[in-house]
Structure 1
Amino acid sequence: MAEISPDALVPRATGPVAAVYLLPGAQTRVLKVYPQPLDRRTYNAVEVEQSKLVGLRSAASIVRVEALDDLPDGRTGLRMEFCPQSLPDLVANGPLPIGDVIVLGQILSSVLAEAHEVGLVHGGVTPSNVLERPSGQPALADFGMALRLRFPRDLMDDAAYTAPEVLREGELSEQADVYGLGAVLYLALTGQSPFPARTGESADGVVLRVLREPPPEVSGRDVPPALSGLLMRMLAKEPDDRPEAVTVRREFEELLTAGPAEDELDFDDFSEELAAGRTVPVATIAAKPKKLVAQKQRKEPKKSRKGLLIGAAAAVALVAVVPVVFQPGQDDDATPPPAPNPTAASTTPTASTTIGTPATSAPSAIALKPPQDKGTSVVLSWSFPQELDEYAVIVAEQGAKKAIVGYHGPKTSVTVPVSPGLLYCFQIQGIDGVGMYLSARIGIRGATCVGQR
């Protein structure tokens, strides 16, 4: 462990268990300091947990412990990347756009599903642990049981996001992780917790409602019934009635693949109004009338509420649109659009006890091979020098008002159904924890694909 002077730390935030400080000279790193030093058992358990997290395919969506540092007074600090905002900050002005909520659900459920497969439980999925990187991409922080057992927190602080069995018995489990994720996504979708405190209600009153009452079901013309139904199952009172994280991931992938119905409004144009129209029963709202919420949202400049996943949503959210001009008879080759040039995360100073491996930079272009036109389907395949977390296939059909976005996980090939005789353009987008990567736009049957994303 490296030794750090407390005088050099810049206070950032104080939580129920630990305090967070900015590290001097390392604006991209923070130190989370616990009130007491780690004993050898806890230290070893943290190392084991973090080594497992490094090996997950979705590790880029986790805020991992990079190093352990000692303070002169004996306290221990965990060195991690700095993420400027958390989910409560982002929903302060109201719900997130529906596409962001679905992408957020897919990313976080992927993290939990893979962690559960290797025997890891998060133990505290709450809004404050869903962070936004400077790039706009989400990440799940505070992962693991070792520090929770060493420094127990007061469950009353996050009772509205805590599974009933945890409030009753204190037992953390995979099923409790799923409940916590459901409550977090409920906040993102509605702007409030499943059990917001009522005027004059005590913390005990909130706990009783979590234990006894079902959460209000979300309605709204932009809310897919499948999404609302999935959240209700994730928030079931009994652990055995909740879906496993791998099932949650699959259902979010299906929501991404389905895309918006043809008669739905363009979420990109009307996301503020649609979000304002999402409702829960009035009895659950405390001291914030729905009309005032809606008015406040409409006054906010659209770009000021960028929300989570600005980088990720461009790759796989339902609102992505690729303007395409079809010009039959010209070359099928397309010129790739400008792509972000992501930079590698800062390397952790070598004086600390480093856990895992630092992120590395990656090329910015996905190589999309010439599509294989089978008449009623097209086989697409592509390559990239490293494995990415998610890919999305964008398909623009001649005569269609907007492109179709299909989520395809980490696969690098897919068969897309097409109509005989129509022209098509295709593009691949991919994301990881660093940035977004694009392929060229390639057409078939004589189509030329032009325009900017």
Structure 2
Amino acid sequence: MAEISPDTLVPRATGPVATVYLVAPPGGRTAALKVYPQPLDRRTYNAVEVEQAKLAGLRSAPSIVRVESLDDLPDGRTGLRMEFCPQSLTDLIANGPLPIDNVIVLGQILSSVLAEAHDAGLVHGGVTPANVLERPSGQPALADFGMALRLRFPRDLMGDAAYTAPEVLREGELSEAADVYGLGAVLYLALTGLPPFPARPGESADDVVLRVLREPPAEVTGRDVPPGLSRLLLRMLAKDPELRPEAAAVVGEFEALLSGAGATPENETDFDDFRDELAAGRSVPLAVVEAPKKKASKVRVDEPSGGRKSRKPLLIGAGAAIALVAVVPVVFHPGSDETQSTPAPPAAVTAPSVTPSVAPKQAEIKLNPPVDKGTSVVLSWSSTKKSLTYAVIVAEQGVDKPQTSFRGELTTLTVQVSAGLKYCFLIQGSDGATTYQSAPAPIRGATCG
């Protein structure tokens, strides 16, 4: 265990059991530190290590936010150091449901994670929107995996009742079937913008629990939702855990939806190439921009009653036949005492169909002034042309190559940044034939060329 100074911690979020801080060591990358109220006993410490070792061995490990180290605080508390993912699913659906294609890809990735984990004898124990995160690259990832800490620090389930299986609410029984239920509820939220059992005006938390226990969720219709997707979610949300499909079967059904077998003609899309790249954390080659060189057994959990929070992920670029030509005219000109650098020739992504050309005059993408929050920047934009697939380009002072995050059809993004550095941002959008781009937007006095 490493010891960490409280002076290096920046509060990020407070949950019912642990507090999340950001740690930004000088010259290092920002990480998240989840701090529990008491130190870990030897049994829990060993159990966490075993779980994390198993997760690291899964083929789907790149889609899991794993514990990088266990750190001690001087006051005796223990923190779990993990990569910092700036958004959760709750954040991403703040402006409305995700595109249907994105939900299908998300379901395929997350169900694959659960299927492999279950096969290795691991139960997640709490699949909620707060644990479905988005990396800065745009890749979705499942966090807070494992039972050791859930047993050591029991939490009240009332706040997440809408995403909790009926048998867990009744008996505290966490299982593979409960994981499938949680995933079904999370995907229901992504598809509709609401949980399967949203709180009604004047309704108490107990009322929500009663509906979870007794009422079926509403069938998802409209928006050209494939009937196969709606049926799958309802089966995943079955009251009886014996009636839910296993995670491996869920993977197969999402594969069928991705191949078009379960989609209506309006929604048939070839996701094969794009899905594989997403699961591996796809990134787009960009022009160089130089900155100045300055099967598991069921586990019973007895938990107290009380209130809880809910927070927000994700994601994903949609459209396998779309590639963006990464012409990124983002250059820093911080001052007269430093030399302006010149970007290298742009690198293009080969697409399975056509390679778009940049023609910003045919449509306008307006990037609003970035909102700088210190360790993150909130971006929002709009376009005069509908149905574009967007990519967000981020150029950081001192980094040779700008980074790209695929965003699908969403028009907001929270970007992780480092304190004290200058940044330029640019939005590109493609309709599959042509790529459009916004004017670059700076923060902290950066000059974007």
Work out which of the residue numbers 83, 86, 98 in structure 1 matches 2:85.
83
Structural RMSD (CA): 3.0
Work out which of the residue numbers 209, 229, 232 in structure 2 matches 1:230.
232
1:309 partner amino acid: L
Q: Quote how far apart the aligned CAs of 1:125 are.
A: 0.2
1:152 maps to what in 2? 154
2:128 maps to what in 1? 126
2:4 maps to what in 1? 4
1:202/1:90 Cα in 2 relative to 1: closer, same or farther (>3 Å)?
same
1:249/1:266 Cα in 2 relative to 1: closer, same or farther (>3 Å)?
closer
1:309 maps to what in 2? 315
Matches within 5 A, 1:300-379: 308-310=314-316, 313=317, 317=318, 319-322=319-322
1:451/1:99 Cα in 2 relative to 1: closer, same or farther (>3 Å)?
closer
Q: Quote how far apart the aligned CAs of 1:51 are.
A: 0.1
Distance in structure 1 (CA, Å) of the matches to 2:36 and 2:189: 28
Verify the 8 A CA contact 2:18 2:34 in the aligned structure 1.
Answer: yes
2:257 maps to what in 1? 255
1:102 maps to what in 2? 104
Verify the 8 A CA contact 2:321 2:353 in the aligned structure 1.
Answer: no
Matches within 5 A, 1:420-439: none
Distance in structure 2 (CA, Å) of the matches to 1:71 and 1:231: 43
1:224 partner amino acid: P
- Whether 2:19 is the aligned partner of 1:13: answer no
Moved over 6 A (4+): 336-340, 434-437, 450-453
Distance in structure 1 (CA, Å) of the matches to 2:327 and 2:142: 26
Distance in structure 1 (CA, Å) of the matches to 2:74 and 2:142: 30
- Whether 2:244 is the aligned partner of 1:242: answer yes
1:62/1:263 Cα in 2 relative to 1: closer, same or farther (>3 Å)?
closer
Percent identity over the alignment is: 75
2:192 maps to what in 1? 190
**Structure showing the higher helix proportion among its residues:** 1
1:49/1:81 Cα in 2 relative to 1: closer, same or farther (>3 Å)?
same
1:23 maps to what in 2? 23
Verify the 8 A CA contact 1:83 1:133 in the aligned structure 2.
Answer: yes
Q: Quote how far apart the aligned CAs of 1:157 are.
A: 1.2
Which SS does the other structure have where 2:219 is aligned? coil
1:266/1:163 Cα in 2 relative to 1: closer, same or farther (>3 Å)?
closer
Q: Quote how far apart the aligned CAs of 1:5 are.
A: 1.4
Q: Quote how far apart the aligned CAs of 1:27 are.
A: 4.2
Which SS does the other structure have where 1:219 is aligned? coil
Distance in structure 1 (CA, Å) of the matches to 2:268 and 2:241: 37
Which SS does the other structure have where 1:22 is aligned? strand
Verify the 8 A CA contact 2:128 2:160 in the aligned structure 1.
Answer: yes
How many residue pairs get aligned? The number is 299
1:173/1:83 Cα in 2 relative to 1: closer, same or farther (>3 Å)?
same
Structure 2: tracts of 5 or more residues without a match? 271-312, 329-346, 355-402, 407-431, 436-449
TM-score, length of structure 2 as denominator length? 0.62
2:19 partner amino acid: A
Distance in structure 1 (CA, Å) of the matches to 2:199 and 2:237: 17
Cα deviation per residue 1:412-439 (whole Å; 9 max; x = unaligned)?
xxxxxxxxxxxxxxxxxxxxxx9999xx
Which SS does the other structure have where 2:162 is aligned? helix
Verify the 8 A CA contact 2:167 2:173 in the aligned structure 1.
Answer: yes
1:219/1:337 Cα in 2 relative to 1: closer, same or farther (>3 Å)?
same
1:424 maps to what in 2? none
Structure 1: tracts of 5 or more residues without a match? 268-306, 324-335, 341-363, 369-392, 397-433, 438-449
2:216 maps to what in 1? 214
Which SS does the other structure have where 1:43 is aligned? helix
Verify the 8 A CA contact 1:11 1:20 in the aligned structure 2.
Answer: yes
Distance in structure 1 (CA, Å) of the matches to 2:174 and 2:91: 26
2:73 partner amino acid: L
2:41 maps to what in 1? 39
